[in-house]
Amino acid sequence: MSWSYYRILTKVKNNNERLFYEIEAEQEGWSVPVLERQIHSFLFARLLKTRDKNGVMKLASQGLAVTNPADAIKDPYILDFLGLPDSKQLHESELEAAIIKNLQEFLLELGKGFAFVARQKRLQYEDEYFYVDLVFYHCIP
């Protein structure tokens, strides 16, 4: 990793959190802007909320290890980069269009191993057709 990465990492006060970001940036090949976004969106804190307390040190020392399907899904998601207005009503089509426009950032927000497959994918079940708005595939390398 270059000096730019370490310059950003030195701003992270908690040693475990800093180590986590360092491991993840190296393993996932994050760019400097992606590392900054993950730190500013509190990825470490959000992952801690979904993990058991005994797994905290393992998470900090080894990075995110996907051992069961629930580990692949983050909760909650930070979607500020979509630029959607703060409103009580949001139409599904607006969310879909914003995700497509910002697909790279959205895939990074989903977590490791997600790939975009299709938009408005037509599926047939018996003699009926259905359309899935967005189809993602999760493959852990």
Whether the model clears a pTM of 0.85, i.e. scores above it, the answer is no
> Residue 73: inside a domain, yes or no?
no
Is the pLDDT score of 31 beyond 80?
yes
Q: What is the domain range of residue 128?
A: 79-141
Q: What is the average pLDDT across 21-47?
A: 83
If asked whether residues 14 and 42 sit together in one domain, one would say yes
If asked whether residues 52 and 93 sit together in one domain, one would say no
Distance CA 110, CA 115 (A): 10
Number of domains in the chain: 2
Distance CA 67, CA 73 (A): 12
Query: Whose structure tokens read 């790939």?
Result: 115
Query: Whose structure tokens read 């992952």?
Result: 47
pLDDT of 2 reads 86
Q: Answer with the one of 18, 43, 68 that is the final residue of a domain.
A: 68
Q: How many CA atoms lie within 13 A of 7 on its CB side?
A: 5
Rounded to 5 degrees, what are φ and ψ at 24? -65, -40
If asked whether residues 4 and 64 sit together in one domain, one would say yes
If asked whether residues 96 and 63 sit together in one domain, one would say no
pLDDT of 11 reads 92
Is the pLDDT score of 94 beyond 70?
yes
